[in-house]
Amino acid sequence: MSAWSASSWRNRALTSRRITGRSSAAAAALAVCLAVLCAFPAARTSAKQGKEATQPVTCGTCHVGVVNSYAHAPMRHAMEPVATNPTLLAHPNLTVQQNGYSYTVQTSNGKSIYTVSDASGNLSLPIHWVFGQHSQTFVLEKDGKLYESLVSYYPREQALATTPGDQELKPKNLTEAMGRELSQWESLMCFDCHASGATRGTHLTLDKLTMGLECERCHQGAQQHMADAADDNFKTIPKPLKRMSSGDVLNFCGQCHRSWETVVRNHWKGPAYVRFQPYRLQNSRCFAADDPRISCLACHDPHQPVNHDQAFYDKKCLACHAQTKAAGPAAAPSNAKTCPVAKAKCSTCHMPRVELPGGHAQFTDHQIRVVHPGDPYPN
Amino acid sequence: MSLSRFKKRCRGAKRFRRAAAGYALLVALSCCAHPDAAAQQAPGFDDLAAQAAAARDRQNIPAAIDLYAKAVQARPDWTEGWWYLTLLQYSTNQYPGAIDAANHMLQIVPHAVPAMALRGLSEFEIADYKSSLRDLEMAVQHGAASDPHNEQIVRLHLALDLTRADRFQDALEQYRALAEKQINTPEILIGIGLAGMRSTSFPSEIRPEDRDLYVGAGAAGFAFLAGESNQADTLFEQMFTKYPSAPNLHLFYGLLLYSHDPELAVDQFQQEVAVVPANEAARALLAFCLVISGKFKEALPEAQKAYAAAPDMLLAQLALGRSLGETGDIEHGTELLKKVLAQDSDNLEAHMGLAALYARAGKREDAYRERMVCLKLAK
């Protein structure tokens, strides 16, 4: 990322606006700038520090509020740095016995070592990449190849256990017991959704990787926008994602969380795929691509931590299923029924939490429905 | 036929011979049970069987064939006899005789996979490629390629038949199975090059001046199919530099990339239509990849061109229907997708497109119905 002086950027923006001849525009621009400066104390501080302060311009220079909240959002922590990984720091000596092999993950001095051993010896590798914020899987490098660790950390048990999807593997040697070799394509997909700058076309660029998802991952063009904004050009603001239709939002988030079309096109089926929320949500009878009340963004702000309070989501459901149609301009569909059983904690019944096979966690099934006992699951 | 090829053929035949060890044992046992049979003046079936086996063991193939032929005349339901007649005649390039013997064997044991495979290989040699394709495809479906000794010869000839039949992607799947096991011969490389570049020729039919092109494309394709995508990328780039105007070279790489990431394939299809603007298949693929990447505005002009050039091509109809609908002309988009379904009622992409367009139009029930159809089709 190129570095500019935040204060000089601000000064230039102000200066260039002052020298334009149209006073009304200048006044408006000045008002905007003042509003921006007032709204974002950090940016104002930078500007106040004057010419000698040379802080790099980042998204947070202007969008400090959202950047600060995003620092705690799950996507920002899709990959955790080893040295500051709270999970590994809290559990510096993890061990488990699996399939005749002994596994340890030992953490000290900001480094974590993954070791697998059996009667024939042991194999130790440093952990460079930790995928996930809560449940964590390690990607290991050996002889130029990448491997997904055969055991992962699960917060529910606070212990290591087999990585989801690897239950059927029967390792025949230490390398196989250490991890499952990742194909180039798996590696590209994994790193592309858990890190930033890790891929370029068909190539992994792990030397340029930043852990977790940075703004640019979703807001394509953010870098250009910063460069242009430094020159007082605000014509290249990234496409505002808020204006996307619900269908487009699901497909957008589905790039990583898997869209309905991706799951169907790949003929993926079974309980393991219930974790793909856009796919499940779009399976819902009430889904409509043009209705903003049913989209990822209707319930979740990707810049915020996930809200685990079931009651928080009730008003989202009631936006359609309320007894009155006071939900706004997009009127409730005529067949949006009200629940005869309860008016609160809708999602506990209609989006039940399910146990993923081998996932050591419960997951909210995002397919909204009336759940009947004995219904085939997943459909 | 060259000596080396003949030897290779015989090696292949020996492999089948191993598979028939059980049959040979039966023959040997029957011989032991009648030690004085050979002393009779008019040899009976048991004598003939024993003499045939003995001749085969002495590598006196002409005598063995003659004796087996007499033995099956004496006992037409003797499957071992028909099997050795098939095998020995195939080994000595007597393909019509091998086919006839295999026909008899398959009448008695319709699922005798080795006989089916040998008949397919023999049919290939007499240029009956349609029958060869039918037999080899059936044989592979029933496990003929699961024996590592037979896999190369069976898959290679099946791939050549598939290429001849214009089924290039299916041919590449056979080559993929070989590449994943690092089974690499010049003929396989050229075969991959031919299938990848959409030529129905056999390796023996290409002009000497085209050989390097197909070998180079095949080597790049082999690397990709073997999972070495970085190496493949380098090799393809070298080929693009060396053969900037070769038709179907970018199409080949694009189709390989498509199965992993349609967005990466887009660039290759764009380059293909830049090299050969009249390449309708490449343009339809370009439009379709843009559609499934969600880039409907970019897809529309390409889809229009593809449809104008080839209105009967399903892929062009799909791409145009979906891109029209997603960019606002839902009526005509729906019409085109229904046209696809009129030709192929189970076309998953058409149903997915309709689901998306109905959802976009706010037709929730229609969209839901189409989504459920897709889920059923995907199962």
In angstroms, the separation between the Cα of residue B292 and the nearest Cα of chain A is 9
Which alpha helices (DSSP H) does A238-302 contain, by range? 246-257, 260-265, 277-283, 296-299
Examine the pLDDT at A160 and tell me if it is beyond 90.
Answer: yes
Contact check, Cβ <8 Å, B359/A202:
no
Q: Which of A86, A37, A30, A91 is nearest to A64 (CA)?
A: A37
DSSP code for B44: -
Q: Which of A203, A267, A285 minimises the CB distance to B368?
A: A285
The overall average pLDDT reported for chain B is 89
Residues of A in contact with B364 (CB under 8 A): 285-288, 333
- DSSP-derived pairing of the beta strands A203-204 and A195-196: unpaired
The pair of structure tokens assigned to B342 is 């009129």
Mutation site for B-interface testing, chosen from A145, A146, A180, A184 by largest number of B Cβ within 10 Å:
A184
**Beta bridge partners of residue A105, listed in sequence order:** A94, A114
Contact check, Cβ <8 Å, B360/A264:
no
Lowest mean pLDDT among A266-275, B6-15, B32-41, B339-348: B32-41
Contact check, Cβ <8 Å, A202/B264:
yes
Categorize the per-residue pLDDT at A32 as very low, low, confident or very high, splitting at 50, 70 and 90.
very low
What digits encode the pLDDT tens for the residues B266-314? 999 999 999 999 999 999 999 999 999 989 999 999 999 999 999 999 9
Backbone φ, ψ for residue A178 (5° rounding):
-65, -50
Examine the pLDDT at B23 and tell me if it is beyond 80.
Answer: no
Instruction: Give dist(CA A42, CA A63) in Å, integer.
Output: 10
Predicted ipTM of the assembly: 0.77
Lowest mean pLDDT among A112-116, A133-137, A228-232, B234-238: A228-232
Which residues contact residue A342 at a Cβ distance below 8 angstroms, ignoring those fewer than 6 apart?
A349
Lowest mean pLDDT among A190-194, A319-323, B191-195: A319-323
Give B169-206 as a DSSP string: HHHHHHHHHHHHTT---HHHHHHHHHHHTT----GGGS
Contact between B191 and B203 (Cβ < 8 Å): yes
Categorize the per-residue pLDDT at A333 as very low, low, confident or very high, splitting at 50, 70 and 90.
low
Residue A18: count other Cβ atoms within 10 Å of its Cβ. Answer: 10
Contact between A212 and A76 (Cβ < 8 Å): yes
Contact check, Cβ <8 Å, A261/B292:
yes
Backbone φ, ψ for residue A195 (5° rounding):
-145, 170
Contact between A33 and A14 (Cβ < 8 Å): yes
Instruction: Give dist(CA B342, CA B350) in Å, integer.
Output: 10
B200 versus A337: the higher-pLDDT residue is: B200
Amino acid B338: pLDDT: 97
DSSP code for A77: G
The one-letter amino acid at A158? Q
Element (H, E) at A94: strand A93-98
Amino acid A343: pLDDT: 83
Amino acid B34: pLDDT: 37
A 154-213 residues with CB below 8 A of B? 183-185, 188, 201-203
- DSSP-derived pairing of the beta strands A145-149 and A137-142: antiparallel
B 257-296 residues with CB below 8 A of A? 257, 260-261, 264, 292, 294
The overall average pLDDT reported for chain A is 82
Q: Count CA atoms within 13 Å of residue B122 on its CB side.
A: 26
Amino acid A372: pLDDT: 83
Amino acid A35: pLDDT: 37
Mutation site for A-interface testing, chosen from B176, B224, B253, B260 by largest number of A Cβ within 10 Å:
B260
Instruction: Give dist(CA B207, CA A318) in Å, integer.
Output: 71
A 338-377 residues with CB below 8 A of B? none
Instruction: Give dist(CA A340, CA A333) in Å, integer.
Output: 18
Instruction: Give dist(CA A116, CA A105) in Å, integer.
Output: 9
Kindly provide the residue ranges of all beta strands, DSSP E only, lying in chain B, ordered along the sequence.
none
Examine the pLDDT at A339 and tell me if it is beyond 80.
Answer: yes
Contact between B244 and B275 (Cβ < 8 Å): yes
The C-alpha angle B18, B24, B27, rounded to 5 degrees, equals 175
Instruction: Estimate to the nearest angstrom the gap between the alpha carbon of B242 and the chain centroid.
Output: 29
The pair of structure tokens assigned to B151 is 């896999």
For chain B, the farthest-separated pair of C-alpha atoms sits apart, in whole angstroms, at: 91
Q: Which of B94, B86, B92, B91 is nearest to B69 (CA)?
A: B86
What digits encode the pLDDT tens for the residues B167-201? 999 999 999 999 999 999 999 999 999 999 999 99
DSSP code for B102: H
Categorize the per-residue pLDDT at B8 as very low, low, confident or very high, splitting at 50, 70 and 90.
very low
Mutation site for A-interface testing, chosen from B259, B357, B368 by largest number of A Cβ within 10 Å:
B368
3-state secondary structure of B311: coil
Which residues contact residue B87 at a Cβ distance below 8 angstroms, ignoring those fewer than 6 apart?
B13, B16, B17, B20, B98, B118
The C-alpha angle B68, B73, B76, rounded to 5 degrees, equals 100
Examine the pLDDT at A330 and tell me if it is beyond 80.
Answer: no
Q: What number is the average pLDDT over the span A97-116?
A: 95
Kindly provide the residue ranges of all beta strands, DSSP E only, lying in A212-349, ordered along the sequence.
none
3-state secondary structure of A373: coil
DSSP code for A110: T
The one-letter amino acid at A10? R
Examine the pLDDT at B78 and tell me if it is beyond 50.
Answer: yes
Contact check, Cβ <8 Å, B264/A264:
no
Q: Which of B106, B175, B111, B167 is nearest to B139 (CA)?
A: B111
| Sign of CA pseudo-dihedral A310, A313, A315, A317 | negative
Q: What number is the average pLDDT over the span A267-288?
A: 92
Strands of the sheet with A79-80, listed across from one edge: A79-80, A129-131, A137-142, A145-149, A179-181
Examine the pLDDT at A328 and tell me if it is beyond 60.
Answer: no
Examine the pLDDT at A322 and tell me if it is beyond 60.
Answer: yes
**Beta bridge partners of residue A93, listed in sequence order:** A106
Examine the pLDDT at A16 and tell me if it is beyond 50.
Answer: no
A373 versus B112: the higher-pLDDT residue is: B112
Q: What number is the average pLDDT over the span A42-56?
A: 47
The one-letter amino acid at A210? T
What digits encode the pLDDT tens for the residues B129-163? 999 999 999 999 999 998 888 999 999 999 999 99
Contact between B90 and B98 (Cβ < 8 Å): yes
Q: What number is the average pLDDT over the span B28-44?
A: 42
Q: Name residue, tokens 């570049």.
A: B197
Lowest mean pLDDT among A53-62, A72-81, B92-101, B179-188: A53-62
Contact pairs from chain A to chain B, CB under 8 Å: 70
B296 versus B23: the higher-pLDDT residue is: B296
Examine the pLDDT at B218 and tell me if it is beyond 80.
Answer: yes
Q: What number is the average pLDDT over the span A106-128?
A: 96
Please report, rounded to a whole number, the percentage of residues in chain B having pLDDT higher than 90: 81
Q: Which of A260, A267, A290 minimises the CB distance to B360?
A: A290
Residue B99: count other Cβ atoms within 10 Å of its Cβ. Answer: 24
| Sign of CA pseudo-dihedral A192, A196, A199, A204 | negative
Contacts 24+ apart (CB under 8 A), A32-37: A36/A62, A37/A10
Instruction: Give dist(CA A251, CA B133) in Å, integer.
Output: 41
Contacts 24+ apart (CB under 8 A), A232-236: A232/A12, A232/A13, A232/A16, A232/A17
Contact check, Cβ <8 Å, A202/B374:
no
Amino acid B11: pLDDT: 42
Categorize the per-residue pLDDT at A335 as very low, low, confident or very high, splitting at 50, 70 and 90.
low
Examine the pLDDT at A157 and tell me if it is beyond 70.
Answer: yes
The pair of structure tokens assigned to A128 is 């460079």
